[in-house]
Amino acid sequence: MLDKYTAFVKKTEILCKGLYLDENLINHYRNQGIEISYGRKGGAGPLGGRYFLFENHAIVNAALWNDPQKSDFVVKENIDGYFKIYDNQNKIEHSKLKLVQNPNYYSPEYKTTDGIPMKKIALVHGIDCLSSTIYQKCVYQGCGEGCKFCGIELSLENDSTIEEKNHTQMTEVIAAAKKEGRCSHMTLTSGTDESIDKGANRYIELLKGVKNKYPNLPLHIQIEPLEDLSYINELKDAGADTIGIHLEVLDQHIREIITPGKSRMPYDLYVKNWERALEVFGKNQVSSYVLTGFGESPDDFILGTEKVISLGVIPFITPVRSIPGRKDLPTTNPNVMVEIYSKAAKLMKEYGVNPLKSKAGCVRCGGCSSINDAYKSI
Ligand code: SF4
């Protein structure tokens, strides 16, 4: 059986490099009853991937490339439900991965009562994290200041979603996903609104509607830092269980290039928001996406991460992934990434921050980051 540390390292390698899937094999697998595709082309979280389980059940959101130049890890034959992943560079088997099947409600005949295909409302991430971008537009994208890694408006452009979702649609999809055992918690995300509440009021309405029907369903929301911190209390009161306030990039100079719109929000505002969120949501329920791959030195990255952890915030460290069809973003060396994760996990233990206690959302799902795997294995 795969031990925890080896699974952590292999998962990190796949997060950094992704997998090469030969397009010509898709039909071959389909004939074996296995539906494998290149994944979603827009929305929340890294794009163009599918979810796989290692033999020890660690989950990975793996990019699937149709270009062999992109990854040394090649998807090979499926034996007893596991794809063999071959490491082309070292000429050895890398790992065995089981594809997580898409839920049945993705079929076009599943529609909400107002006639929208359910797949356009929410998708299953990982095994059982129902996820939705409740508002698919972002003020920064509109004025050319969008984050370079974000594809929030792509799914609108390719008609795979609708601009805004309401709680009635959401509860109907929750019911369908629950029937299949695919909704134990939720990740709700949103583009940033131009308004002063940054979209908090939209969340509040949706959270109340969902919690009214599913009071025990843990819900995670993701929002920009707010000037008016009382919205954080209102979001909790409305039913959010965990919150992500995402810095995304640690270095201010790099922030200005990669997240030009968001970079105008000072770091201090993040600190104020994280502190309030920790008071309101409690220990281990506040997180921040932190992406690697933009050229910070690993030492600086760890220093920045320690600041975040010392406040009590879980750093959801993730190697940035290029958006299919757009200019390639840099990749992170997997060895450096393993070192970063290991140090961050040790720091979390020192500061008493435990990602395994997160009730909902990305930290609980863990598909896009090895932070939980590192925490478990050191
Ligand atoms: S961690 Fe899980 S819920 Fe969050 S974006 Fe990745 S796959 Fe989706």
Q: Give 91 Cα–ligand 1 centroid separation in angstroms.
A: 31
Neighbours of 257 (CB within 10 A): 13
Neighbours of 228 (CB within 10 A): 11
Lowest mean pLDDT among 145-154, 304-313, 346-355: 145-154
User: Of the residues 123, 125, 190, which should be mutated to test ligand 1's pocket, given the most ligand atoms within 8 Å of the CB?
Assistant: 125
Q: Give 51 Cα–ligand 1 centroid separation in angstroms.
A: 10
Residue of 62, 41, 36 lying closest to 123 (CA atoms): 41
Among protein residues, the one whose CA lies closest to atom 3 of ligand 1: 362
Residue of 161, 210, 159, 213 lying closest to 190 (CA atoms): 161
Q: Give 352 Cα–ligand 1 centroid separation in angstroms.
A: 24
What are the residues whose beta carbons fall under 8 Å from the beta carbon of 326, sequence distance 6 or more? none
Structural domain spans, the chain: 4-99, 104-377
Identify the pLDDT of residue 24: 87
Summarize pLDDT for 338-363 with one digit per residue, the tens. Answer: 999 999 999 999 999 999 999 999 99
Point out the ligand 1 atom lying closest to the alpha carbon of residue 187.
3
Is a pLDDT exceeding 70 seen at residue 260? yes
Summarize pLDDT for 90-130 with one digit per residue, the tens. Answer: 999 999 999 999 999 999 999 999 999 999 999 999 999 99
Identify the pLDDT of residue 46: 61
Mean pLDDT of the region 11-36? 90
Q: How confident is the model at residue 45 (pLDDT cuts 50, 70, 90)?
A: low
Is a pLDDT exceeding 90 seen at residue 226? yes
Identify the pLDDT of residue 39: 65
Q: How confident is the model at residue 195 (pLDDT cuts 50, 70, 90)?
A: confident
- CATH topology for 104-377 is TIM Barrel (3.20.20)
Among protein residues, the one whose CA lies closest to atom 4 of ligand 1: 362
Identify the pLDDT of residue 186: 98
Q: Give 42 Cα–ligand 1 centroid separation in angstroms.
A: 13
Q: Give 49 Cα–ligand 1 centroid separation in angstroms.
A: 11
Q: Give 366 Cα–ligand 1 centroid separation in angstroms.
A: 6
Contact criterion met (CB below 8 Å) for 182 and 156 = no
Mean pLDDT of the region 266-279? 97
d(CA 55, CA 259): 37
Pocket of ligand 1 (CB under 6 A): 44-45, 61, 125-126, 129, 131, 187, 362, 365, 367-368
User: Of the residues 59, 131, 290, 369, which should be mutated to test ligand 1's pocket, given the most ligand atoms within 8 Å of the CB?
Assistant: 131
Among protein residues, the one whose CA lies closest to atom 5 of ligand 1: 45
Identify the pLDDT of residue 328: 73
Summarize pLDDT for 56-82 with one digit per residue, the tens. Answer: 999 999 999 888 988 999 999 999 999
Identify the pLDDT of residue 100: 95
d(CA 284, CA 71): 34
Is a pLDDT exceeding 90 seen at residue 151? no
200 Ramachandran zone, left/alpha/beta (phi>0; psi -120 to 50)? alpha
Is a pLDDT exceeding 80 seen at residue 17? yes
d(CA 165, CA 184): 20
Q: How confident is the model at residue 324 (pLDDT cuts 50, 70, 90)?
A: low
Point out the ligand 1 atom lying closest to the alpha carbon of residue 61.
7
Q: How far apart are the first and last CA of the chain?
A: 18
Identify the pLDDT of residue 25: 87
Q: Give 128 Cα–ligand 1 centroid separation in angstroms.
A: 10
